Amino acid sequence: METRDIVFSLVMVMSAFALTYRWLNRWDVGDPVIVLSAMVLVGALALLLLSIEARLRRIEAQINAKERSLRVSVQSMEENVDRKLQGVVTRMYDLLEQLGKRVYR
């Protein structure tokens, strides 16, 4: 969690406090329960957004790790196939050379 996220969460809570306090004091009927409820609601919303962001970052890290693992597996498989194919090609050239020698005899 970055400091920027914490600052934005605090700004959300303070703005909710100011908004509800000023709105309720317009008619001189300030109820502290409503102000506190609005602060808790906005705080919970901020925490929800931060937890969603943390979860997305964790999922992204897992996907990157799996991608790296898959890339390494594909690379090793490619090297194995290349080595086997090179052996087959060498064997084919040897057989063609032997056939060429037999044809000229």
The rounded mean pLDDT for the chain is 84
pLDDT of residue 58: 93
pLDDT of residue 29: 63
**Residue 17: exposed, middle, or buried by beta-carbon count in 10 A (0-12, 13-18, 19+)?**
middle
Expressed as residue numbers, the domain containing 94 is 3-104
Q: What is the pLDDT of residues 29-78, one digit of tens each?
A: 666 777 777 777 887 888 888 888 889 999 999 999 999 999 999 999 99
The total number of structural domains in the chain stands at 1
pLDDT of residue 28: 64
Rg (CA), the chain: 34
Per-residue confidence at 1, pLDDT binned at 50, 70, 90? low
Instruction: Tell me, yes or no, if the pTM score tops 0.85.
Output: no
Per-residue confidence at 11, pLDDT binned at 50, 70, 90? confident
